Structure 1
Amino acid sequence: MRKEIKHYLQQWQSIYDGKPWYGPSLRTVLQGLDAETAYWKPRPGAHSIIELLHHILCWRRHFVQRLSGNLDFSIQLNSPEDWTAYEGLSEEKWKGMVKELEDNQKEITRLLNGKEDAFLEQDSGKGGITFRERLEGTIQHDLYHLGQMAMMKALYRLTPRQA
Protein backbone atom coordinates (compact mmCIF):
# COMPACT_ATOMS: atom_id res chain seq x y z
CA MET A 1 0.00 0.00 0.00
CA ARG A 2 1.21 3.52 -0.80
CA LYS A 3 -1.48 5.85 0.58
CA GLU A 4 0.78 7.48 3.18
CA ILE A 5 3.78 7.70 0.85
CA LYS A 6 1.57 9.46 -1.70
CA HIS A 7 0.38 11.88 1.00
CA TYR A 8 3.96 12.73 1.99
CA LEU A 9 4.97 13.12 -1.65
CA GLN A 10 2.11 15.58 -2.18
CA GLN A 11 3.24 17.56 0.88
CA TRP A 12 6.86 17.43 -0.27
CA GLN A 13 5.97 18.69 -3.74
CA SER A 14 3.58 21.37 -2.50
CA ILE A 15 6.21 22.87 -0.20
CA TYR A 16 8.82 22.81 -2.97
CA ASP A 17 6.91 24.26 -5.92
CA GLY A 18 3.20 23.96 -5.34
CA LYS A 19 0.65 26.30 -3.82
CA PRO A 20 0.75 25.52 -0.10
CA TRP A 21 -1.89 27.20 2.07
CA TYR A 22 0.70 28.98 4.27
CA GLY A 23 2.16 31.09 1.45
CA PRO A 24 4.93 30.89 -1.14
CA SER A 25 6.71 27.63 -1.91
CA LEU A 26 10.45 27.17 -1.52
CA ARG A 27 10.98 27.54 -5.25
CA THR A 28 8.83 30.69 -5.33
CA VAL A 29 10.86 32.32 -2.55
CA LEU A 30 14.14 31.54 -4.35
CA GLN A 31 12.87 32.39 -7.84
CA GLY A 32 14.48 35.45 -9.35
CA LEU A 33 16.96 36.01 -6.52
CA ASP A 34 20.39 37.13 -7.62
CA ALA A 35 23.68 36.59 -5.80
CA GLU A 36 23.57 40.04 -4.19
CA THR A 37 20.27 39.20 -2.50
CA ALA A 38 21.28 35.62 -1.67
CA TYR A 39 24.54 36.67 0.02
CA TRP A 40 23.12 39.69 1.89
CA LYS A 41 22.99 39.68 5.70
CA PRO A 42 20.95 42.16 7.75
CA ARG A 43 23.73 42.30 10.33
CA PRO A 44 27.01 40.54 11.16
CA GLY A 45 26.43 37.07 12.60
CA ALA A 46 23.12 36.55 10.78
CA HIS A 47 22.75 33.88 8.12
CA SER A 48 22.28 34.82 4.49
CA ILE A 49 19.82 33.11 2.17
CA ILE A 50 22.67 31.17 0.51
CA GLU A 51 23.83 29.93 3.93
CA LEU A 52 20.30 28.85 4.81
CA LEU A 53 19.98 27.05 1.47
CA HIS A 54 23.33 25.33 2.05
CA HIS A 55 22.06 24.16 5.45
CA ILE A 56 18.79 22.86 3.96
CA LEU A 57 20.73 21.00 1.27
CA CYS A 58 23.07 19.50 3.86
CA TRP A 59 20.18 17.85 5.69
CA ARG A 60 18.41 16.89 2.47
CA ARG A 61 21.63 15.12 1.37
CA HIS A 62 21.59 13.36 4.73
CA PHE A 63 18.02 12.23 4.05
CA VAL A 64 18.97 10.96 0.56
CA GLN A 65 21.81 8.92 2.06
CA ARG A 66 19.48 7.35 4.60
CA LEU A 67 16.79 6.67 1.97
CA SER A 68 19.48 5.06 -0.19
CA GLY A 69 20.36 2.61 2.58
CA ASN A 70 23.43 4.33 4.04
CA LEU A 71 22.08 4.21 7.59
CA ASP A 72 25.46 5.09 9.13
CA PHE A 73 25.75 8.40 7.26
CA SER A 74 25.91 11.31 9.67
CA ILE A 75 26.53 15.02 9.81
CA GLN A 76 27.98 16.76 12.83
CA LEU A 77 25.61 19.46 14.04
CA ASN A 78 26.90 23.02 13.66
CA SER A 79 30.00 21.84 11.80
CA PRO A 80 31.33 23.70 8.73
CA GLU A 81 29.61 21.01 6.65
CA ASP A 82 26.30 21.88 8.33
CA TRP A 83 26.72 25.67 8.35
CA THR A 84 29.09 27.21 5.82
CA ALA A 85 29.84 30.93 5.74
CA TYR A 86 29.70 32.37 2.23
CA GLU A 87 31.64 35.55 1.55
CA GLY A 88 31.86 37.58 -1.62
CA LEU A 89 29.37 37.25 -4.43
CA SER A 90 29.23 34.38 -6.89
CA GLU A 91 26.25 34.23 -9.22
CA GLU A 92 27.55 30.87 -10.47
CA LYS A 93 27.68 29.39 -6.96
CA TRP A 94 24.20 30.71 -6.15
CA LYS A 95 22.65 29.33 -9.35
CA GLY A 96 24.46 26.03 -8.77
CA MET A 97 22.92 25.67 -5.33
CA VAL A 98 19.43 26.41 -6.64
CA LYS A 99 19.99 23.74 -9.32
CA GLU A 100 21.23 21.31 -6.66
CA LEU A 101 18.01 21.89 -4.71
CA GLU A 102 15.98 21.08 -7.83
CA ASP A 103 18.01 17.90 -8.43
CA ASN A 104 17.74 16.91 -4.78
CA GLN A 105 13.96 17.38 -4.88
CA LYS A 106 13.75 15.02 -7.86
CA GLU A 107 16.04 12.47 -6.16
CA ILE A 108 14.06 12.38 -2.91
CA THR A 109 10.81 12.12 -4.90
CA ARG A 110 12.26 9.25 -6.94
CA LEU A 111 13.48 7.41 -3.84
CA LEU A 112 10.17 7.82 -1.99
CA ASN A 113 8.20 6.75 -5.07
CA GLY A 114 9.93 3.37 -4.82
CA LYS A 115 8.76 2.76 -1.24
CA GLU A 116 5.70 1.18 0.32
CA ASP A 117 3.95 2.60 3.41
CA ALA A 118 5.53 -0.06 5.67
CA PHE A 119 8.91 1.52 4.91
CA LEU A 120 7.90 4.56 6.98
CA GLU A 121 8.00 2.50 10.20
CA GLN A 122 11.50 1.13 9.58
CA ASP A 123 14.46 2.39 11.59
CA SER A 124 16.33 5.04 9.61
CA GLY A 125 19.65 4.51 11.36
CA LYS A 126 21.34 5.95 14.41
CA GLY A 127 19.07 7.49 16.98
CA GLY A 128 16.14 5.09 16.74
CA ILE A 129 14.25 7.39 14.39
CA THR A 130 11.83 5.88 11.89
CA PHE A 131 11.78 6.97 8.27
CA ARG A 132 8.40 8.59 8.97
CA GLU A 133 9.97 10.74 11.70
CA ARG A 134 12.97 11.56 9.52
CA LEU A 135 10.72 12.50 6.56
CA GLU A 136 8.45 14.65 8.73
CA GLY A 137 11.50 16.23 10.35
CA THR A 138 13.02 17.05 6.96
CA ILE A 139 9.75 18.64 5.82
CA GLN A 140 9.53 20.65 9.06
CA HIS A 141 13.19 21.68 8.74
CA ASP A 142 12.63 22.93 5.18
CA LEU A 143 9.58 24.92 6.30
CA TYR A 144 11.39 26.50 9.24
CA HIS A 145 14.26 27.73 7.09
CA LEU A 146 11.92 28.64 4.22
CA GLY A 147 10.27 31.12 6.58
CA GLN A 148 13.67 32.57 7.43
CA MET A 149 14.56 32.90 3.74
CA ALA A 150 11.25 34.62 2.98
CA MET A 151 11.91 37.05 5.84
CA MET A 152 15.46 37.72 4.58
CA LYS A 153 14.14 38.39 1.08
CA ALA A 154 11.58 40.86 2.45
CA LEU A 155 14.17 42.57 4.67
CA TYR A 156 16.57 42.91 1.75
CA ARG A 157 13.91 44.66 -0.31
CA LEU A 158 13.10 47.04 2.56
CA THR A 159 16.72 47.92 3.40
CA PRO A 160 18.10 51.04 1.70
CA ARG A 161 21.31 50.52 -0.32
CA GLN A 162 24.19 52.90 -0.66
CA ALA A 163 24.63 54.17 -4.20
Structure 2
Amino acid sequence: MKRNESLAEEYYSTIFGDPWYGSSVKNILEVVTKNNSKVKIAPNTHSIEEILLHMWSWTEEVNSRLCGGLPKEPVMDDWPKLSDFQKLSWAELKKQFFNESKSIINTIRNFPEERLDETVGIERNAPLGTGISFASMISGLIQHNVYHAAQISLLNKCI
Protein backbone atom coordinates (compact mmCIF):
# COMPACT_ATOMS: atom_id res chain seq x y z
CA MET A 1 0.00 0.00 0.00
CA LYS A 2 1.29 3.46 -0.89
CA ARG A 3 1.94 5.94 1.92
CA ASN A 4 -0.82 8.30 0.81
CA GLU A 5 -3.29 5.40 0.77
CA SER A 6 -2.11 4.30 4.21
CA LEU A 7 -2.53 7.82 5.62
CA ALA A 8 -6.00 8.06 4.06
CA GLU A 9 -6.98 4.73 5.63
CA GLU A 10 -5.65 5.81 9.02
CA TYR A 11 -7.58 9.07 8.76
CA TYR A 12 -10.75 7.20 7.77
CA SER A 13 -10.33 4.77 10.66
CA THR A 14 -10.07 7.52 13.27
CA ILE A 15 -13.10 9.41 11.98
CA PHE A 16 -15.47 6.72 10.69
CA GLY A 17 -13.93 3.31 11.24
CA ASP A 18 -12.80 0.98 13.98
CA PRO A 19 -9.47 2.35 15.27
CA TRP A 20 -7.34 0.08 17.45
CA TYR A 21 -7.49 2.44 20.47
CA GLY A 22 -11.29 2.52 20.78
CA SER A 23 -14.13 4.60 19.37
CA SER A 24 -14.03 6.62 16.18
CA VAL A 25 -14.90 10.31 16.21
CA LYS A 26 -18.25 9.44 14.61
CA ASN A 27 -19.10 6.94 17.35
CA ILE A 28 -18.08 9.40 20.07
CA LEU A 29 -20.20 12.19 18.56
CA GLU A 30 -23.23 9.93 18.08
CA VAL A 31 -23.81 9.77 21.83
CA VAL A 32 -23.42 13.52 22.43
CA THR A 33 -26.81 15.20 22.75
CA LYS A 34 -27.57 18.68 21.47
CA ASN A 35 -27.83 19.94 25.06
CA ASN A 36 -24.55 18.32 26.14
CA SER A 37 -22.77 19.77 23.10
CA LYS A 38 -23.32 23.29 24.43
CA VAL A 39 -22.18 22.82 28.04
CA LYS A 40 -18.95 24.34 29.38
CA ILE A 41 -17.97 22.41 32.48
CA ALA A 42 -15.81 25.21 33.92
CA PRO A 43 -14.81 28.80 33.16
CA ASN A 44 -12.29 29.25 30.34
CA THR A 45 -13.02 25.84 28.82
CA HIS A 46 -14.52 24.88 25.49
CA SER A 47 -17.84 23.21 24.86
CA ILE A 48 -18.06 20.10 22.70
CA GLU A 49 -19.52 22.26 19.91
CA GLU A 50 -16.52 24.59 20.08
CA ILE A 51 -14.09 21.67 19.99
CA LEU A 52 -15.83 20.22 16.93
CA LEU A 53 -15.72 23.61 15.18
CA HIS A 54 -11.99 23.75 15.91
CA MET A 55 -11.53 20.25 14.46
CA TRP A 56 -13.55 21.19 11.37
CA SER A 57 -11.59 24.43 10.96
CA TRP A 58 -8.21 22.69 10.94
CA THR A 59 -9.46 19.86 8.72
CA GLU A 60 -10.54 22.47 6.18
CA GLU A 61 -7.19 24.30 6.43
CA VAL A 62 -5.08 21.16 5.99
CA ASN A 63 -7.27 20.08 3.08
CA SER A 64 -6.66 23.49 1.48
CA ARG A 65 -2.88 23.07 1.90
CA LEU A 66 -2.98 19.62 0.33
CA CYS A 67 -4.86 21.15 -2.62
CA GLY A 68 -2.14 23.77 -3.15
CA GLY A 69 -3.27 26.55 -0.81
CA LEU A 70 -0.69 28.56 1.10
CA PRO A 71 -0.47 27.72 4.81
CA LYS A 72 -2.30 30.23 6.98
CA GLU A 73 -4.61 30.45 9.96
CA PRO A 74 -7.84 28.61 9.17
CA VAL A 75 -10.48 30.69 7.37
CA MET A 76 -12.88 29.93 10.23
CA ASP A 77 -10.12 30.85 12.76
CA ASP A 78 -8.18 28.54 15.07
CA TRP A 79 -11.06 28.49 17.57
CA PRO A 80 -14.08 29.69 15.58
CA LYS A 81 -16.65 31.81 17.38
CA LEU A 82 -19.70 29.70 18.09
CA SER A 83 -21.86 32.78 17.49
CA ASP A 84 -20.80 32.72 13.81
CA PHE A 85 -22.35 29.26 13.47
CA GLN A 86 -25.57 29.62 15.49
CA LYS A 87 -27.68 28.84 12.40
CA LEU A 88 -26.20 25.34 12.31
CA SER A 89 -27.95 22.74 14.42
CA TRP A 90 -25.86 20.17 16.29
CA ALA A 91 -26.75 17.62 13.60
CA GLU A 92 -25.73 20.04 10.82
CA LEU A 93 -22.45 20.87 12.55
CA LYS A 94 -21.57 17.18 12.75
CA LYS A 95 -22.58 16.74 9.11
CA GLN A 96 -20.30 19.61 8.02
CA PHE A 97 -17.37 18.12 9.92
CA PHE A 98 -17.99 14.66 8.44
CA ASN A 99 -18.32 16.10 4.92
CA GLU A 100 -14.99 17.92 5.29
CA SER A 101 -13.48 14.71 6.68
CA LYS A 102 -14.66 12.75 3.63
CA SER A 103 -13.20 15.45 1.40
CA ILE A 104 -9.76 15.40 3.05
CA ILE A 105 -9.67 11.59 2.99
CA ASN A 106 -10.21 11.75 -0.77
CA THR A 107 -7.58 14.50 -1.07
CA ILE A 108 -5.04 12.46 0.90
CA ARG A 109 -5.78 9.34 -1.15
CA ASN A 110 -5.11 11.30 -4.37
CA PHE A 111 -2.18 13.36 -3.07
CA PRO A 112 0.99 12.55 -5.05
CA GLU A 113 3.04 10.15 -2.94
CA GLU A 114 6.28 11.75 -4.15
CA ARG A 115 5.19 15.06 -2.54
CA LEU A 116 4.60 13.65 0.96
CA ASP A 117 8.16 14.53 2.04
CA GLU A 118 7.98 18.11 0.72
CA THR A 119 7.92 20.86 3.34
CA VAL A 120 4.76 22.79 4.16
CA GLY A 121 5.57 26.50 4.27
CA ILE A 122 9.03 28.03 4.44
CA GLU A 123 9.84 27.93 8.15
CA ARG A 124 8.93 26.01 11.28
CA ASN A 125 5.95 27.56 13.01
CA ALA A 126 4.41 25.03 15.39
CA PRO A 127 1.11 26.88 16.04
CA LEU A 128 0.60 27.22 12.29
CA GLY A 129 1.80 23.69 11.55
CA THR A 130 4.44 24.68 9.01
CA GLY A 131 8.06 23.69 8.43
CA ILE A 132 7.17 19.99 8.45
CA SER A 133 6.46 17.53 5.67
CA PHE A 134 3.02 17.01 4.17
CA ALA A 135 3.09 13.48 5.63
CA SER A 136 3.82 14.87 9.10
CA MET A 137 1.07 17.45 8.70
CA ILE A 138 -1.45 14.72 7.82
CA SER A 139 -0.29 12.58 10.74
CA GLY A 140 -0.48 15.62 12.99
CA LEU A 141 -4.07 16.30 11.98
CA ILE A 142 -4.97 12.68 12.69
CA GLN A 143 -3.37 13.02 16.15
CA HIS A 144 -5.13 16.35 16.65
CA ASN A 145 -8.51 14.77 15.92
CA VAL A 146 -7.87 11.81 18.22
CA TYR A 147 -6.78 14.17 21.02
CA HIS A 148 -9.92 16.27 20.71
CA ALA A 149 -12.16 13.21 20.31
CA ALA A 150 -10.87 11.99 23.68
CA GLN A 151 -11.66 15.41 25.17
CA ILE A 152 -15.17 15.24 23.75
CA SER A 153 -15.70 11.76 25.14
CA LEU A 154 -14.53 12.80 28.61
CA LEU A 155 -16.53 16.02 28.58
CA ASN A 156 -19.67 14.14 27.58
CA LYS A 157 -19.16 11.70 30.47
CA CYS A 158 -18.73 14.59 32.93
CA ILE A 159 -21.95 16.34 31.93
* TM class, shorter-length: 0.7 to 0.9
Query: How far does residue 146 in structure 1 lie from its aligned partner after superposition?
Result: 0.8
Contact 1:34 1:91 in 2 (8 A): no
Aligned residues: 150
Q: What do you get for the CA RMSD once the two structures are aligned?
A: 2.2
Query: How far does residue 115 in structure 1 lie from its aligned partner after superposition?
Result: 2.2
Higher strand share: 2
Q: Distance in 1 between matches of 2:66 and 2:13?
A: 20
- Structure 1 segments of 4+ aligned residues over 4 angstroms from their partners: none
CA shift digits 1:1-58 (9 cap, x unpaired): x621121111111100111121110000111433211011112221110010011111
Q: Distance in 2 between matches of 1:73 and 1:85?
A: 21
Query: How far does residue 85 in structure 1 lie from its aligned partner after superposition?
Result: 4.6
Percentage of matched positions with identical amino acids = 26
2:103 pairs, out of 82, 104, 107, with 107
Classify 1:85/1:115 alpha carbon distance in 2 versus 1 (closer, same or farther; 3 Å).
closer
SS at match of 2:121: coil
Q: Distance in 2 between matches of 1:124 and 1:118?
A: 14
Contact 2:50 2:79 in 1 (8 A): yes
Q: Distance in 2 between matches of 1:91 and 1:39?
A: 14
Unaligned runs of 5+ in 2: 124-130
Corresponding residue of 2:56? 57
Aligned pairs for 1:21-60 within 5 A:
21-60=20-59
So what's the TM-score if we normalise by structure 2? 0.84
